Amino acid sequence: MAKDDFCEMLSRSTPGPGDGGNTGSWRVLRPVLNAAACIPVKTGRMSCFQCWLYCPDCVVSKTIPPTIDYDYCKGCGICAEECPAGAIEMVPEAEAGPLAKEG
Ligand code: SF4
Ligand code: SF4
């Protein structure tokens, strides 16, 4: 079975980013990735990605390293709970500092 076929068999909903609406400024906690602790970064393999799998808003990318779309991340903390490496820390927005602007 090809890897992509296996991914199609997972019972994971795949709404597009933003189906739940832009988060705006109300997120209380921000998930911050420590890439040095992330399993795919450490191994160079497309493995793990529990953060991608369990994010209810589908805003974590399946890339090395994973990235989080903060425009739509709700700060629920599920990614941090599911990460087996403890690579995601939920940081209070007031302490996390400004987000880098893209583009
Ligand atoms: S905090 Fe919640 S919404 Fe944000 S990336 Fe993690 S699982 Fe997704
Ligand atoms: S769950 Fe944790 S270790 Fe796995 S890909 Fe996501 S951040 Fe990396």
Average pLDDT over residues 56-83: 95
pTM metric for this prediction: 0.85
User: Is 75 near ligand 1, meaning CB less than 6 Å away?
Assistant: yes
Work out the pLDDT band at 45, boundaries 50, 70, 90: very high
Number of the ligand 1 atom closest to the C-alpha atom of 60 = 5
Q: Look at residue 27 in the predicted model and tell me its pLDDT.
A: 93
Query: Which CATH number is 28-94's, of 3.30.70.20, 3.40.50.300, 1.20.1300.10, 3.40.50.1240?
Result: 3.30.70.20
Domain ranges for the chain? 28-94
Kindly give the distance from the C-alpha atom of residue 68 to the centroid of ligand 1, in angstroms, as a whole number. Answer: 8
Pocket residue to mutate for ligand 2, from 41, 48, 62, 90, most atoms within 8 A of Cβ: 48
- Please report the pLDDT score of residue 73 as a whole number: 93
| Mean pLDDT, rounded, for 82-97 | 96
Quote the tokens at residue 71.
């425009």
Long-range own/partner contacts, residues 38-42 (CB < 8 A, 24 or more apart) = 38/65, 38/66, 38/85, 38/87, 39/84, 39/85, 39/87, 40/64, 40/65, 40/66, 41/65
